[in-house]
Amino acid sequence: MTFKSLELPEPLLRALDKAAYPSPTPIQSLAIPLILAGHDLLAQAQTGTGKTAAFALPALQFWADANAKSGSQASHNVHTLVLTPTRELALQVASAFGSYGQFLTPKPRIHAIIGGEETETQTNALRKGADIVVATPGRLLDLYGKQEIHLHQLALLVLDEADKMLSLGFAEELEKLLQILPNKRQTLLFSATFPEKVRVLTLKVLTDPIPVRVEQAAPTLDRIQQRVIEVDTANRGRLLRHLLKTENWAQTVVFVGSKRAAANLATKLKKDGLKAVAFHGDLDQIERVAALQFFENKRAQVLIATDIASRGLDFEEISHVVNFDLPRSPADYIHRIGRTARAGKVGMAISLISAESAAHFKLIEKRAGIQLEREHIPGFEPTDSPIENEAAVPNKGPLPVKGKRKSKKDKVREARLRVAASSDGL
């Protein structure tokens, strides 16, 4: 399938051409025709699948059509509202709308309405007109209460990462918003998972939705060089600093297992003269945005992140991804390393494995269907002997069944790894 066959208008095709997207991703091929046909959508898709364009392209087309009909830009009435759980995602989505819509004339007025920024700046912008609004629920309600935002003619509502929105406690705000929004609208709900809470929400917000589901997009593994370095737990921090300096890694994301480990490692790297920032859920919004901006502007070489905080991290320039602490699952491994090699670039993913985590990594390799060579770096050769377990050594007991519930032993091992991660000698 091509974007042309999706019958998108020429200005949008031009923007896709400029972005050098070769063809629609599966979620785009499935969702765009359904959205253009006016259906509500219940979409299971994660970050990395191209879901943003899946809703942004039809939204822009709808807006352009409506605008052409009304003859002038309908002044203050928001046409499309996208709700997101985090400021970072709101900014990314708003910027995606901007780039897909760059060749439309007139251009839609797109605003990110998010907490943690001056309200006045946002109200001043809104007063000049608003077509597409990407918002976190709290600030949106705030501005609505002040009559700074006009939602009574809303045509399209998108709930992006609905599961995260509910797990972050936005249920009440969503409820309030739904009472404000016109009933006659088209609604698209995107979520990576569908726990009970999300299912209840779908019943409230969607009308005869069409379900669409895609698997996580496989990152372009062929452009990612994967390395595995064996090192003692106590030497991982020193090794990381050594590699950052001697191999001249550019924009590096280091994944750790806990907020504390992220903060500790950032402090250690900074003491060593490296420019590092921590990025985790304990930072307030201003600190999180500052950390991301620092990294994006290349004033920081290293971003030390936890899995949760990094959901949705999408910078084209990430050159290296380091698994300082190993991810829990093969899916997380693929998701983490897929932060690099974006937009046609090449990237490198480095996993540091120690005696404690060797067996866990073997399991990740087995389930992900990969097998990687182990490397030793001179001066950092491991001295601890691997701690074996039955999961990694088939002749020492039964092989674990895929999807089997964790045994007590697994849980103890994981707890040990977590402790090691947060109190490690970095």
Q: How far is the CB of 223 from ligand AMP (least distance, A)?
A: 13
18 vs 204, beta carbon nearer ligand AMP: 18
The letter for the amino acid at 209 is: P
Instruction: Tell which residue, 265, 230, 237, has the closest CA to residue 352.
Output: 230
**Contact range with ligand AMP by CB under 6 A, out of 48-56, 332-340, 391-399, 400-408:** 48-56
Does the N-terminal peptide bond of residue 386 adopt cis geometry, omega within 30 degrees of 0? no
22 vs 403, beta carbon nearer ligand AMP: 22
Which of 314, 317, 332, 414 forms a contact with ligand AMP (CB under 6 A)? 314
Q: How far is the CB of 21 from ligand AMP (least distance, A)?
A: 3
Cβ neighbours, 10 Å, residue 10 = 10
342 vs 367, beta carbon nearer ligand AMP: 342
**Contact range with ligand AMP by CB under 6 A, out of 46-54, 123-131, 260-268, 414-422:** 46-54
Which of 53, 134, 166, 337 forms a contact with ligand AMP (CB under 6 A)? 53
Q: Say how far apart CA 327 and CA 357 lie, in whole Å.
A: 10
Radius of gyration over every alpha carbon of the chain, rounded to an integer in angstroms:
23
The letter for the amino acid at 146 is: K
30 vs 276, beta carbon nearer ligand AMP: 30
Which of 6, 29, 51, 357 forms a contact with ligand AMP (CB under 6 A)? 51
Q: What is the DSSP letter of 374?
A: E
Q: How far is the CB of 34 from ligand AMP (least distance, A)?
A: 17
45 vs 349, beta carbon nearer ligand AMP: 45
47 vs 187, beta carbon nearer ligand AMP: 47
Q: Say how far apart CA 315 and CA 340 lie, in whole Å.
A: 8
Instruction: Tell which residue, 151, 170, 142, has the closest CA to residue 85.
Output: 170
Cβ burial, residue 351 (10 Å; 0-12/13-18/19+):
buried
Which of 238, 342, 345, 418 forms a contact with ligand AMP (CB under 6 A)? 342
Q: Say how far apart CA 125 and CA 77 lie, in whole Å.
A: 14
349: left (phi over 0), alpha (psi -120 to 50) or beta: beta
Q: How far is the CB of 332 from ligand AMP (least distance, A)?
A: 16
Q: Say how far apart CA 348 and CA 369 lie, in whole Å.
A: 18
Instruction: Tell which residue, 138, 143, 137, has the closest CA to residue 125.
Output: 143
Which of 34, 50, 265, 341 forms a contact with ligand AMP (CB under 6 A)? 50
Q: How far is the CB of 312 from ligand AMP (least distance, A)?
A: 7
Q: Say how far apart CA 309 and CA 49 lie, in whole Å.
A: 19
Which of 30, 42, 43, 48 forms a contact with ligand AMP (CB under 6 A)? 48
Q: What is the DSSP letter of 380?
A: -
7 vs 284, beta carbon nearer ligand AMP: 7
**Contact range with ligand AMP by CB under 6 A, out of 23-31, 240-248, 286-294, 371-379:** 23-31
Is residue 49 at the binding interface for ligand AMP, with CB under 6 A as the rule? yes
Q: Say how far apart CA 8 and CA 36 lie, in whole Å.
A: 9
Helix (H) or strand (E) segment spanning residue 415: helix 408-423
Q: How far is the CB of 54 from ligand AMP (least distance, A)?
A: 7
52 vs 191, beta carbon nearer ligand AMP: 52
Binding residues vs ligand AMP (CB under 6 A): 21-22, 24-25, 28, 47-53, 314, 342
